Amino acid sequence: MKKLFATVLLSISAASAYAGAYGSQSVLVVEDDTGKVLIEKNANAVVPIASLTKLMTAMVVLDARQDMDAPISIDKVDVDMLKHSTSRVPVGASIARRDVLQLALMSSDNRAAASLGRTYPGGTEAFKAAVKAKIAALGMTQTSIEEPTGLSPDNRSSASDMVKMAVAASAYPEIARITTDSKDIININGRGVEYHNTNRFVGAKGWDIGLSKTGYTEEAGRCLIMRIKAAGKNATLVLLNASASSVRAFDAVSIRRFMGGEDVRAARAHPRAEDRAARKSLRTRIAKHGKARHRRA
């Protein structure tokens, strides 16, 4: 028993020892096959989760077994009046529910997510009740979600609970597929419009991603959930409250290299060519589209 206790302490200490190398305020990396905690930093701190919320929205919507081919009309009430985030989905557009789900998850569109909650069977209050029940069913004791987009700072959770949500979401083939699409063309008012994944690692060379969701608000900082495979290992990672997209990206790159047996500090000091390219892509995207658009991520 003493030997087992010592082994557990050593595992926790090792996971915590690497935490200082990461810029995100909360970090948790769990090996999927064993449940072993690989990296842990402030994993039980309860903080705003921004658009990571949309994974919960998607699960509740899919649980309701609504007609995914049925059209949803984007309404004025779906427009973000809290953060005034941008959207390329026009008010009045009629879009199939499956495409609205695609927009909410892949490109993190807030109007799309809001419309999914609004058109839930029984309306917004029934949606909130379903979310509350799902949170309880998953044992997410550190989580509260008040609305479907993640714009509200009252949508709060911990990295520990977000791992539970990621594992549950990955069991939905539709969610896994959508969140790992790098882009898609959606029919908007009879015209094909191309949308891209908010996570630039999706589809990037060297990345094997099974689930993905980004998040950002001023209160939440830059957030990320991914299930990845690296060096033959499968792991779920959660990053909360990074100060910038570059910090979030750097943390993700460092985690992948750590899973491959590399020293985290060395990885950060000497990034590979593909890692530098990924970060350059992020910087280019931010410069091109501006900060305002990234509020939805």
- For residue 88 the two structure tokens come to 């390329």
- For residue 119 the two structure tokens come to 């058109």
Residue 44 Cα distances to 50, 181, 211, angstroms: 17, 30, 22
Separation of alpha carbons 237 and 26, rounded Å = 11
Separation of alpha carbons 105 and 197, rounded Å = 8
Beta-bridged to residue 223, according to DSSP, are 215
Say whether 215 sits in a helix, a strand or coil: strand
> Do the beta carbons of residue 64 and residue 148 sit within 8 Å?
no
- For residue 130 the two structure tokens come to 């379903």
Catalytic residues, which ones? 51, 54, 108
pTM of the predicted model as reported, rounded to 2 decimal places: 0.86
- Give the pLDDT score at 21: 83
- Give the pLDDT score at 191: 92
CB within 8 Å of 25: residues ≥ 6 apart = 41, 42, 45, 47, 221, 240, 241, 242
The DSSP H or E segment spanning 222 is strand 221-230
Q: What distance separates the 2 farthest-apart alpha carbons in the chain?
A: 67
- Give the pLDDT score at 193: 95
Separation of alpha carbons 177 and 171, rounded Å = 11
- Residue closest to 50 by CA, chosen among 186, 147, 193: 147
Separation of alpha carbons 157 and 284, rounded Å = 31
Separation of alpha carbons 249 and 239, rounded Å = 10
Query: Looking at residue 210, what DSSP letter applies?
Result: E
CB within 8 Å of 195: residues ≥ 6 apart = 88, 102, 103, 106, 107, 109, 183, 184, 185, 186
- Give the pLDDT score at 262: 74
> Do the beta carbons of residue 177 and residue 102 sit within 8 Å?
no
- Give the pLDDT score at 19: 63
Separation of alpha carbons 158 and 239, rounded Å = 10
Separation of alpha carbons 161 and 135, rounded Å = 9
- For residue 162 the two structure tokens come to 């977000």
Per-residue pLDDT tens listing for the chain (297 residues)? 444 333 333 444 455 555 668 999 999 999 999 999 999 999 999 999 999 999 999 999 999 999 999 999 999 999 999 999 999 999 999 999 999 999 999 999 999 999 999 999 999 999 999 999 999 999 999 999 999 999 999 999 999 999 999 999 999 999 999 999 999 999 998 899 999 999 999 999 999 999 999 999 999 999 999 999 999 999 999 999 999 999 999 999 999 999 988 765 555 555 555 555 555 555 554 454 444 444 446
Neighbours of 181 (CB within 10 A): 17
pLDDT, tens digit (0-9, with 9 covering 90-100), for 11-64: 444 555 556 689 999 999 999 999 999 999 999 999 999 999 999 999 999 999
pLDDT > 70 fraction of the chain, expressed in percent and rounded: 81
Sign for the CA dihedral angle at 182, 99, 190, 112 comes to negative
